[in-house]
Amino acid sequence: MIAINSSKKAENDLVSAVDVIRKRFALLKEEVSQSSNDELKDEITKIEKQAAELASKNPAEYDNYASDLLALKQNTYSVQAKHTMWRKGYKGLEKKGNKIAQGVEIARQMQQDGTLNDVDFKNIDELIAKLNKLPAQTGEYAKTLEEIIPIWEEIKKKVDAVNDAENKAIKQASARIAGASAVNKAMDSNQSLIGKVKSNNGTDKNFYSQLKEKQDKLSNLLTSVEGETDPVQAAKT
């Protein structure tokens, strides 16, 4: 009785293993249905047929059921590997398409805000609209994306130029603020020293004149730093 039950379980396990392969490859077939990769489609269909043929047999009556199942499993490995590589490929294209679409919208907002000029979005908008209607698995998707990339690269150059200019302006403004702050501190310190020298009855007139002259130079430097487009250059003058 135990031997019979054990044998029955083994048969059920074989049948179940074939069923798992059939379900898995049914999903793969559905995923690649809109793909232009006919070779992968054919290989998946071939596995499906092999699995269906084996599923039509009774493991209790067909002596080679287990060996055929092993051969089937081994065949599935290479096909699944090809499917994985194909999936990574089209997912990469899909990701790139989405990234470009997002970049175009950012560029559009920049132009609406007035920070970006002279960008014509008509052609790229039409191509992105076409791209969005295509399955990413198809050759048409890849071809359309190839048309989009050079147009996007030209737009991106303008966007990058604006961003670089804005970053430079921010750095210059920060340097100007820091420079003005340093000059103000020097002026406060020098003015304090002038006050101390002035309040001293034994004031050294030459030293006092030197301090006054320094204060005037610092005042001129502050004006230069606050108005100069290059604060570093202003500090050198």
Buried b / exposed e over 28-54, threshold 16 CB at 10 Å, is beeebeebbbeebeebbeebbebbeeb
User: Left, alpha or beta for 230 (phi > 0: left; psi -120 to 50: alpha)?
Assistant: beta
Buried b / exposed e over 122-157, threshold 16 CB at 10 Å, is eebeebbeebeebebbbeebbebbeebeebbeebbe
0.75 exceeded by pTM: no
Write the burial class of residue 3 (CB in 10 Å: 0-12 exposed, 13-18 middle, 19+ buried): exposed
- In the DSSP assignment, the letter for residue 200 is S
Q: First vs last Cα of the chain: how many Å apart?
A: 104
**pLDDT tens for the chain, residues 1 to 237:** 444 456 788 888 999 999 999 999 999 999 888 888 889 999 999 999 999 999 999 998 899 999 999 999 999 999 999 999 888 888 899 999 999 999 999 999 999 988 888 899 999 999 999 999 998 888 899 999 999 999 999 999 999 998 888 888 777 777 777 777 777 787 787 777 677 766 665 556 676 677 677 777 777 777 776 665 444 444 444
